[in-house]
Amino acid sequence: NAGVTQTPKFQVLKTGQSMTLQCAQDMNHNSMYWYRQDPGMGLRLIYYSASEGTTDKGEVPNGYNVSRLNKREFSLRLESAAPSQTSVYFCASTVEGGRGTEAFFGQGTRLTVV
């Protein structure tokens, strides 16, 4: 019962470095999401993928790219990290059911850009 797995859990980057945050879900969900959480800002949507093969921008997509590799995996890439991208990143997948569209989140990646 892994649910949504994110790697890594922690990362420190220097300004200008690149990295990819990995996310995988084993619940056979169609839709997957990347959020960032900053103090006082709540959860802001970066990108989402409604289904395999599609991706769309969310509220704060600048500086990020995504890849929906297959139904299980949705990665987030920072091509040239900036201090403003210091944040906690959450991946989520969703299922529609009797409780509405319910999101299942990973444990988060704490990223610091120095």
Residue 19 vs 43, nearer CB to other proteins: 43
> Nearest distance from residue 36's CB to other proteins, in Å?
12
42's CB contacts (< 8 A; 6+ apart) are none
| Beta strands per DSSP E along the chain | 4-7, 10-13, 19-25, 31-38, 42-49, 56-57, 64-68, 74-78, 87-97, 100-105, 109-113
Residue 17 vs 37, nearer CB to other proteins: 37
Residue 58 vs 63, nearer CB to other proteins: 58
Binding site for other proteins (CB under 8 A): 4, 31, 33, 35, 40-43, 45, 48, 50, 56, 58, 90, 92, 94, 99-108
> Nearest distance from residue 63's CB to other proteins, in Å?
19
Residue 48, burial from CB neighbour count under 10 angstroms (0-12, 13-18, 19+): buried
> Nearest distance from residue 89's CB to other proteins, in Å?
10
Measuring CA to CA, which residue among 47, 87, 85, 95 is closest to residue 68?
47
> Nearest distance from residue 70's CB to other proteins, in Å?
18
Residue 17 vs 103, nearer CB to other proteins: 103
Find residue 19's DSSP bridge partners.
78
